[in-house]
Amino acid sequence: MKEIIMIPVEQLFHHPENPRKDLGDLTELTESIRKNGIMQNLTVVPAEDGYTVVIGNRRMEAAKMAGLEAVPCVISDMDHKEQIATMLEENMQRADLTVYEQAQGFQMMMDLGFSAQEISEKTGFSETTVGRRLKMAQLDKKTFQDAVGKQITIEALDQLAKIEDIGKRNELLANYGGNNFDWQVNRAIEQQHAKKVRPAALKMIEEHEPKLKQIPKEERNKLYYGSWKKLYNQGLDMGRWDGKKKFIPKTDEQLYWIEDGTDIEFYIKEKKERKEAEKKTPAQIEREKKIENAWKIADRVTEASAESRCEYATGLKVTPKNAMEMLQWVLVAAMSDIIDHNYNRYGMVKEAFELKGMYRWELVDDLREKILKMKQSEWPTMILTLFEGIPKEKKEYESFAFGNRKEMPQHQRNTRLEQCYEWLTQFGYQMSDEEIRMMRGSHECFGKEGAGDE
């Protein structure tokens, strides 16, 4: 049995690689030592200016708090690996050790050459638990510690560990505590699974060609109106698919499909009944000409107004004097886009700012990051884009004229366009008489038929 000697507390130092960083509440231990002294010796190894404590760090600190000048110690000749292994074995079984400390401790044992099985035998944890903790040890240390401070659960960490991309894991972990954390983790797991089974899904689709055709990109903006009919509840969610079950809908009609995120959707084209051409009366012909002319006028004013707004907005300068007002409009425009449900505009804005999320609520953080990283000089263009998008065709311009083109144009309020004008006029833009009449609904293009609200 090794000799126990009394060593002054000022010569004792904590081991720098002790997995236990938080010694916990020492009140009761300090009081016990004050009354009864130290009942169990410390184990130390020689250091340059004294001794490093391998076993008994809590007792050492409590002894100092109790006012002891020296404590009983056994001096050991353990090498570095033995010191680490001893501390880990001593601490890993403690109930109050945080999951972060467990993960770091298991990783240290792995670095020392222990296998998962050996770690399990020495610490009493199952190999499954050891494996999970080792996966946690791959996380960014600060982000992991912050999440532990927010009381992250073992279940949440185990679920997070299912995500193979460590960068994605750290990104999600940084958001722990938010309302959408669980949803975001589950969604990432589904997207990961979808990526793995996607080749099998495409192969199954390929086997059904030409019965199954992919809808061209240029046709996708027309899916929500016109002759396309979506086969609801007959699509495929690749995030939940086993990679084997047949999913092609059974129908005698020509099937079409698109890939939308992790979903594959199916459509058919509705058949239109042919109607015999009716002979038009002179009054009908005159009315059609009037309607066609009204729409030409509405389109001309809409296009000219859009170009005028764009030219003025791109020429705006952000100065120290107007920066705060301009930033306020960035936020107003961003919120207008987030709450908008116009599919065409939504797609334009998503493409313009290269937003990656599938769903509206996923894009909020993306848009916020864009705003934070964008230079002040780019704010005006950003505001305009958020209000109006980047139209690929003239018919996609924001307008106050709506309706079936077989009828006279109808005036309809366009709150986004009104906000855009409000922003521009605050910074000096002069609306033309035609723009004002279009916004009020008093423009002649609306005519007597369907002269909308003013």
For the stretch 297-325, pLDDT in tens is 999 999 999 989 999 998 999 999 999 99
Is 19 or 321 the better-scoring residue by pLDDT? Answer: 321
Rg over CA atoms, the chain: 35
Whether 71 contacts 7, CB under 8 Å: yes
**Domains in the chain: boundaries:** 4-173, 196-269, 284-446
Convert the pLDDT of each residue in 123-146 to its tens digit. 778 888 888 888 888 888 888 888
pLDDT score of 365? 60
Q: What is the mean pLDDT of the chain?
A: 83
Provide the CATH topology of domain 4-173. Arc Repressor Mutant, subunit A (1.10.10)
Q: Mean per-residue pLDDT for 191-197?
A: 93
Least confident of 198-207, 312-321, 394-403, 434-443: 394-403
pLDDT band at 231 (very low <50, low <70, confident <90, very high): confident
pLDDT of residue 426: 94
341, pLDDT greater than 80: no
Helix (H) or strand (E) holding 47: strand 42-47
The CA–CA distances, whole Å, from 6 to 34, 44, 384 equal 17, 12, 77
- At residue 228 the predicted structure's pLDDT band, cuts being 50, 70 and 90, is confident
Look at residue 392 in the predicted model and tell me its pLDDT. 58
Quote the CA–CA distance of 184 and 167 in Å, as a whole number.
14
Bridge partners (DSSP) of residue 214 are 257
Among 217, 178, 102, 108, residue whose Cα is nearest residue 361: 178
**Is residue 223's pLDDT more than 80?**
no
Q: Which two tokens stand for residue 12?
A: 């004792």
Average pLDDT over residues 202-211: 88
pLDDT band with cut points at 50, 70 and 90 for residue 9: very high
Q: What is the DSSP code string of 229-251?
A: EE-TT-SEEGGG--S-S--PPP-
The Cα–Cα gap between 73 and 43 comes to 6
pLDDT classification of 356: cutoffs 50, 70, 90: low
With a CB cutoff of 8 Å and minimum separation 6, the contacts of 115 are none
What are the helix and strand counts (H, E) for the chain?
Answer: 17, 12
Looking at residue 450, its pLDDT comes to 38
pLDDT at position 275 is 57
Given this model, what pLDDT does residue 344 score?
46
Token reading at 183: 């949803």
